[in-house]
């Protein structure tokens, strides 16, 4: 990864891309050589802190332990806090429906600290707000002190804009992107040694499923990628969401580069999976943790009209996001080898397939070592659960 930076008042110039460039460089599939990685599964039927800590500790040990990964390092955790802090499904707490549950997050922080992490930063980019992240959590009924007391140095940052930084960081997609060749992100995604995605295991109205990779769509700052961002420079504060990334009705604010092929389809099922794969290629995930103890079926949040509450009672963790999400797909009753037109990718290209073709990891369960609880004991059909 090559990183450069810019301030909002001094720009380095946009990275141009000819309209025909995308057509001139077809994707060379690296699926056969995509790395395989161990994935751990644990049964956990309650959010009681001891049960969650014990389950995750056992799973991390089965992955080889965390000390070598995080000892003495700065760890950034992207949390899945989609939507507004006060939006609810059937009056339930957000952590049991569509957000990462605070006890799963707290247990992860505790175990990272126990493994020797020097600093832990909790990151999220709530749409259209520059509100401090800990205050955003407070609005949802969370107690941020539970996180700061779980390890020695825990920080919060809303990465929807510059936040505590003075410059955005420039992340180039290795080997060229699928939608954009590079992305500009909050400094905290660069100022870390280890990047962790802690997400809810659920469906998604656009991409079919939300797991560790899709969680990273939210690392894009709305000051640059929002519908109302200025054209010539990032906004000072976010004032709109990321619909333009879904529908392609405008390009990002300068100096972020325009998309590679402006003639590509203007629909979310094409665009969002490619943006997700670009992002996890440019900002790799070192550890993925999925909360499937309680979740929803039928979508990713309260705005989906056919959601229902379910209790699968499962946690999943892995050090390769593609393999980890492939195991999650299988647990949810989907074929991780499916392509567009087959559940859950009826109206979207498969992020798993695109990421595998990019060489980020394998989605082939025959190549993935699953440890802990067998898939057969936790598999459920999220469409009929």
String of DSSP letters for 159-171: TTS-TT-SSEEEE
* DSSP one-letter code for 215: G
Verify cis geometry, omega within 30 degrees of 0, for the bond prior to 344.
yes
Go through 60-89 and write b for each residue having 16 or more CB atoms within 10 A of its CB, e for each that does not.
bebbeebeebbeebbbbbbbbbbbbbeeeb
Q: For the chain, 385 residues long, give each residue's pLDDT as a single digit of tens.
A: 434 333 333 333 333 333 233 333 445 688 888 999 999 999 999 999 999 999 999 999 999 999 999 999 999 999 999 999 999 999 999 999 999 999 999 999 999 999 999 999 999 999 789 999 999 999 999 999 999 999 999 999 999 999 999 999 999 999 999 999 999 999 999 999 999 999 999 999 999 999 999 999 999 999 999 999 999 999 999 999 999 999 999 999 999 999 999 999 999 999 999 999 999 999 999 999 999 999 999 999 999 888 899 999 999 999 999 999 999 999 999 999 999 999 999 999 999 999 999 999 999 999 999 999 999 999 999 999 8
Q: Name the token pair of 158.
A: 């809303």
Domain boundaries, the chain: 29-378
Residue pair 217/200 in contact by the 8 Å Cβ criterion: no
Measure the CA–CA gap between 356 and 29, rounded to whole angstroms: 8
The CA–CA distances, whole Å, from 41 to 30, 59, 291, 372 equal 27, 7, 11, 5
Residue pair 308/296 in contact by the 8 Å Cβ criterion: yes
Question: Taking each helix axis from N to C terminus, what angle separates 49-62 and 102-114, rounded to the nearest 10 degrees?
Answer: 50
Neighbours of 203 (CB within 10 A): 23
Measure the CA–CA gap between 209 and 214, rounded to whole angstroms: 8
Q: Rg (Cα) of the chain, in Å, rounded?
A: 19
pTM for this entry:
0.92
pLDDT in tens, 229-261: 999 999 999 999 999 999 999 999 999 999 999
264: left (phi over 0), alpha (psi -120 to 50) or beta: beta
pLDDT at 127: 78
pLDDT in tens, 39-63: 999 999 999 999 999 999 999 999 9
Neighbours of 13 (CB within 10 A): 9
Q: Name the token pair of 228.
A: 């109302």
């Amino acid at each position: 990864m090559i990183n450069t930076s810019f301030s909002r008042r001094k720009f380095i110039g946009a990275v141009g891309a000819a309209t025909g460039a995308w057509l001139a460089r077809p994707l060379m599939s690296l699926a056969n050589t995509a790395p395989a990685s161990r994935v751990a599964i644990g049964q956990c039927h309650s959010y009681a802190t001891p049960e969650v800590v014990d389950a995750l500790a056992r799973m991390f040990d089965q992955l080889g332990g965390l000390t070598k990964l995080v000892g003495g390092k700065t760890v950034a955790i992207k949390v899945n806090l989609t939507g507004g802090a006060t939006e609810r499904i059937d009056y339930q707490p957000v952590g049991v429906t569509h957000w990462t549950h605070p006890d799963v997050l707290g247990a992860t922080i505790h175990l990272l600290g126990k493994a020797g992490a020097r600093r832990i930063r909790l990151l999220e980019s709530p749409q259209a707000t520059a509100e401090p992240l800990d205050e955003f959590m407070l609005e949802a009924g969370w107690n941020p002190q539970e996180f700061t007391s779980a390890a020695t140095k825990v920080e919060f940052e809303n990465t929807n804009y510059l936040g505590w930084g003075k410059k955005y960081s420039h992340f180039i997609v290795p080997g060229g992107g699928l939608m954009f060749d590079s992305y500009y992100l909050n400094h905290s995604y660069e100022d870390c040694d280890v990047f962790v995605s802690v997400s809810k295991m659920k469906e998604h109205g656009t991409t079919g499923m939300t797991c560790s990779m899709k969680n990273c769509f939210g690392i894009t700052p709305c000051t640059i990628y929002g519908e109302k961002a200025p054209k010539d420079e990032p906004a000072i504060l976010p004032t709109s969401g990321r619909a333009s990334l879904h529908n392609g009705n405008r390009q990002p604010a300068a100096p972020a580069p325009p998309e590679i092929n402006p003639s590509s389809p203007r629909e979310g099922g094409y665009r969002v999976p490619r943006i997700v794969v670009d992002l996890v290629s440019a900002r790799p995930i070192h550890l993925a943790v999925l909360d499937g103890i309680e979740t929803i079926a039928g979508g990713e949040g309260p705005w989906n009209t056919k959601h229902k509450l379910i209790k699968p009672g499962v946690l999943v963790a892995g050090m390769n996001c593609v393999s980890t999400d492939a195991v999650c797909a299988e647990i949810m009753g989907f074929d991780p080898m499916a392509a567009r037109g087959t559940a859950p990718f009826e109206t979207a290209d498969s992020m798993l397939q695109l990421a595998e073709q990019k060489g980020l990891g394998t989605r082939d369960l025959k190549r993935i070592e699953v440890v802990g609880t067998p898939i057969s004991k936790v598999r459920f059909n999220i469409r009929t659960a």
